[in-house]
Structure 1
Amino acid sequence: MADIVGNKTIRDIWDEMVWINGEKTVLIFHGCDDKIQEFSYQHFNEEINKTANLFLDLGIQKGDKVAIQLYNCPEFLMSWFGLAKIGAIMVPLNTQLTQEECEYIIKKCGGVVAAVIEEEFLPYYHTNGQIPDNGIKHLLLARSKDHTPGTINFWENKEAQPVKLKENRPLTSDDVAEILFTSGTTSMPKGVVITHANMIFAGIFTAWQLSLRNDDRFLTIMPAFHVDFQLNTMMPILIAGGTLISVAKYSARRFWKQIFSYQATITECIPMMIRTMMMQPQQKWEKNHCLREVFFYLALTEKEKNEFEERFNVRLFNSYGLSESLVGVIGDSPCGERHWPSIGKPGLTYEAKIIDEEGNELPPNTIGEIYIKGVPGRTLMKEYHNDPEATRKTLSPDGWMHTGDKGYVDESGWFYFVDRKVNMIKRSGENISTTEIENVLMTHPKIEEAAVIGVPDPIRDQAVKAFIIVKDGEVLNQEEILEYCKGHMAKFKVPSFIEIRKSLPRTCTYKVQKKLLK
């Protein structure tokens, strides 16, 4: 297989893009306070270089790890790319993590020498002027005017630096650029090791997948510490020479106005966004936008999809991937046929197949585990950090990744996602998809959202439990829900337990945290 990255690094990519694009806008950041910051390729590269020089002055060496715990802001990207330019490793931390969870990741990571954080997270790292014994030598406050003892003011110290990089350390595409810890929706988070080659390939792949051009404007509300923001929005925009519009916080009321006012040509949505936008009052102007594609992932019913596409005059671009695969490895084609509810076909350089419990490839239309083939460290993650056993279970020596997800492929090569393996319910010998039950429940006119899990059953292995959020102003009881289920699904799939709630626990990307429901 041809290597389309070669030995390029993130530093090389920025040098190229600045030379090509110069004063063209690379980033527009819309803050929670509605303050708007805009940077050209030239200007932002200078900010990255100043940040890299700050890290150099702190003694950050090649291979050192630096934690970043920031809300969406330009300083996150300055730190990410600044570290990459000097061969250091970014360890992004979810802003929703507790102190205990942060400590777990820092300990698991090993060798974190500095942290760039929001002031509100200071108690996690710094108590009564003392830095905990976690190996972190430098604490940088990114968006604070304060001069807290024991910390470094990021902005003041960055501004004192020259705009040219002080040191061009020898780097290769195989060098590690990031350790990204998974959300841990079902277990403790694992550190996904991502190289410079991984980042560049992800940018090339997604730019190809979405047919990105240098006049594209990609608007996203995804958090910067998430793989989606980094590898599926920022990197492809950088590769294509386009403009990223980062909106700090999602608002259903304002999102489509932002699409309109920023003249976005590409955006991305998840089911929660689509459902909340559909609840907003319809506007005469909402179809008069510049959008070419709406990048989409996770489960949505056909009714929801059709209604959204019709109302907003858009089409959804379906894809499937995970942090370990870097990108939406299976997805719709940049041109040609789409086949909803299929998640598409394997993209550029990838292979995929469906495997049974014994490791045998299954025939069409038979549910099994989705396997993806790529090159570790190039088109797939390199490994799990400090976890050879988990790496061995996920990556086979011949490059096949075991996703842990259930799906099937039809006779024409279209793949279909059924459910996460951990979400499959075993009931009296039957395999039940929680997603399938959730989709049926979501068709009830009074149900806003549903989450389904398996709970222990002494007789039938597992029973089905459904958590329901009822639409505002509606009244619905358990008996009505059960009757609806009995009329719309097989008897063995009907929930044994129903709990009506006001809300559901979520991750930063609005996924339901099912482990907390259990």
Structure 2
Amino acid sequence: MDMIGKKNLGGYFEELALTHKNKTAIICEDVECRTTSLSYVQLNEQINQTANLLTHMGLKKGDKVIIHLCNSIEYIVNFIAIAKIGAISVPVNANYVYADTLFMVEKTKPTLVITNSKFVHIYDDMIENNFTFKNGIMLVDNCSCNHTQYQKEFVKYSVNFENNDIDNLDTAEIVFTSGTSSFPKGVEITHYNLIFAGFYTSWQGNFNNNDICLTAMPLWHIDAQCTMMMPAFSRGATFVLIEKYSAHKFWDQVLFYKATITECIPKMICTLMAQPIKDNEKKHNLKEMFFYLNINNKDMNEFLDRFNIPSCLNSYGMTETIVGLIGDRPDEKRRFPSIGKLGFCYEAKILDSEGNELLSNKSGEICIKGEIGKTIFKGYFDNKDATNKVLSKDGWLRTGDIGYFDDDEYFYFVDRNINLIKVAGENVSSVEVETFISSHDKIFEVAVIGIPDKFNNELIKACVVLKDKEEMTKDDVVQYCLSGLAKFKVPSIVQFYSYLPKTCTGKVRKNILRSDHLKENLK
């Protein structure tokens, strides 16, 4: 049975308002610790007012809209309002500069930009360079300029809006991948995808309408949308959105809002562990914490023990799969560092380099089958070649990730295929080497990459960030590796960094580390 039916996002939020009425839907805390909140009825009414405003501005079905904002209620309201019209959101990483944003603008040709006074200069510069945005630029904060002032305008419009001309397989947003290995690709995500994510992840995490679901992850990334926002709304829970992650504030926010569900990436865990211990840090209401790759067992156990986390849910997914389709299941035994078991609505298999299906305990490419536009993405925007390369017509997706499953059907992640390092005929997992090196007490984080070598195919390079006030030599790192890794897995090159370049979700941009190394060694 299809649990979504013909629901689209606009109709779905109308239903949520009718069901949950005056219950608090969302609380947002900005960087100044100021909070705003809306009930389910208020949220839907503001969505409708905004949809009427955008329609008055000339926005129509199929138009693309840049959303360049930090986490905020205005982000969510405009995102759903755009979908309600049948237009398509194009979320922009708030850390992007002109060149990054220009790529997305040239690719999608948006008719409208929704941003604020902090980022508007990027689009004013584009207009100076002869770009046009047919429906203009709208600012969500008060600013003395010639652009549309959202806060002044949306309140003038009706709280009722109806548009039945939207199929739930229509594209709701185009999310550009982080581009850790090449130029970003625009992943088309449908109304159905987003509603399904709410149902799926709320099942996976045992969400209920009494939950308080808190995240500091950015809304321009699929994770915040599909791991916290949509699941919280799907159960009539309260969604707490933090504008920006702060290591010294985050746990206080978990405590203050009495969060029952939250999520952490490895970067957050490392920075939280570096904070001074507080007497009340174990006195929280958490029942579940979503977690994503990669961290070693030692660091994970220390984190769980220090903060008294009762349950940590590991899962595996990507923008193209919408949700963590392989993951720990509710009320089932967990086997960390396993990424869990296959969830409902999906199939999975492991293929070797020749395309042959492998049995248990054999590493190969993880391949996933779902329903296109429903449980997996619709395709890459304006890029049929890239779509056809990874997605078959019957819904099999080649992830480019290497993994295996054990005899009990628990899956394990080995590495990104692109990050496997080929050393003198041996395949070395960068994740394995990173996990071992990061277990050293003096090391804050590490990224391991392959460097071309005419004799060995590739050499292993460890890019190491030390903890504050700690000291190590390159030889110290090598000797530590020799104590626990096969010799061919030990880095030939060690370089110390003050920080590693990352995407908004904390993934190390290894392509930058590789290119920087090659540039430095060509001098």
Please give the range of the TM-score, normalised by the shorter of the 2 chains.
Answer: over 0.9
C-alpha distance in 1, partners of 2:252/2:433? 34
TM-score, with normalisation over the residues of structure 2?
Answer: 0.96
Choose which of 154, 158, 164 in structure 1 pairs with 2:154: 158
Q: Please give the root-mean-square deviation of Cα atoms over the aligned residues, in Å.
A: 1.3
Deviations 1:183-224 (A, max 9, x none): 111110001011111111111100111111011110100011
C-alpha distance in 1, partners of 2:126/2:353? 53
Q: Is the 8 A contact 2:266 2:506 kept in 1?
A: no
Q: Is the 8 A contact 1:125 1:132 kept in 2?
A: no
Could you say if the C-alpha distance between residues 127 and 501 of structure 1 is closer, same or farther in structure 2, counting changes exceeding 3 Å?
Answer: closer
Corresponding residue of 2:125: 127
- The question of 1:421 aligning with 2:420 is answered no
Could you say if the C-alpha distance between residues 497 and 241 of structure 1 is closer, same or farther in structure 2, counting changes exceeding 3 Å?
Answer: same
Corresponding residue of 2:207: 212
Deviation at 1:131, TM superposition (A): 7.1
Deviation at 1:286, TM superposition (A): 1.7
Deviations 1:289-336 (A, max 9, x none): 110000000111111111111111112110000000000000001112
Percentage identity across aligned positions?
43
Range that drifts further, 323-332 or 230-239 = 230-239
C-alpha distance in 1, partners of 2:132/2:494? 44
Secondary structure, aligned partner of 1:119: coil
Q: Is the 8 A contact 2:113 2:133 kept in 1?
A: no
- The question of 1:369 aligning with 2:369 is answered no
Deviation at 1:129, TM superposition (A): 7.1
Q: Is the 8 A contact 2:446 2:463 kept in 1?
A: yes
Choose which of 289, 293, 309 in structure 2 pairs with 1:294: 289
Corresponding residue of 2:136: 138
Secondary structure, aligned partner of 1:283: coil
Range that drifts further, 277-286 or 399-408 = 277-286
Could you say if the C-alpha distance between residues 436 and 135 of structure 1 is closer, same or farther in structure 2, counting changes exceeding 3 Å?
Answer: same
- The question of 1:313 aligning with 2:308 is answered yes
C-alpha distance in 2, partners of 1:67/1:328? 26
Secondary structure, aligned partner of 1:18: helix
Q: Which amino acid aligns with 2:99?
A: E
Could you say if the C-alpha distance between residues 129 and 317 of structure 1 is closer, same or farther in structure 2, counting changes exceeding 3 Å?
Answer: closer
Choose which of 150, 168, 179 in structure 1 pairs with 2:174: 179
In the alignment, structure 2 segments of 5+ residues that lack a partner are: 515-523
C-alpha distance in 1, partners of 2:166/2:316? 32
Choose which of 196, 215, 228 in structure 2 pairs with 1:201: 196
Deviations 1:379-419 (A, max 9, x none): 00011011111101111122111000010111111100011
Corresponding residue of 2:506: 510
Choose which of 390, 393, 398 in structure 1 pairs with 2:394: 398
Q: Is the 8 A contact 2:334 2:340 kept in 1?
A: yes
C-alpha distance in 2, partners of 1:134/1:353? 47
C-alpha distance in 2, partners of 1:443/1:136? 53
Deviation at 1:130, TM superposition (A): 4.4
C-alpha distance in 2, partners of 1:336/1:482? 40
Q: Is the 8 A contact 1:434 1:452 kept in 2?
A: yes
Corresponding residue of 2:520: none
In the alignment, structure 1 segments of 5+ residues that lack a partner are: none
Q: Is the 8 A contact 1:349 1:374 kept in 2?
A: yes
Corresponding residue of 2:326: 330
Could you say if the C-alpha distance between residues 252 and 128 of structure 1 is closer, same or farther in structure 2, counting changes exceeding 3 Å?
Answer: closer
Secondary structure, aligned partner of 2:18: helix
TM-score, with normalisation over the residues of structure 1?
Answer: 0.97
Q: Is the 8 A contact 1:116 1:139 kept in 2?
A: yes
Corresponding residue of 1:3: 2
Q: Which amino acid aligns with 1:404?
A: G
Task: Give the aligned length.
Answer: 513
Deviation at 1:239, TM superposition (A): 0.7
Corresponding residue of 1:13: 12
C-alpha distance in 2, partners of 1:186/1:103? 19
Deviation at 1:105, TM superposition (A): 1.1
Corresponding residue of 1:69: 68
Deviations 1:274-301 (A, max 9, x none): 1111122222222221100000001111
Deviation at 1:229, TM superposition (A): 1.1
Corresponding residue of 1:42: 41
Choose which of 245, 255, 270 in structure 2 pairs with 1:275: 270
Corresponding residue of 1:238: 233
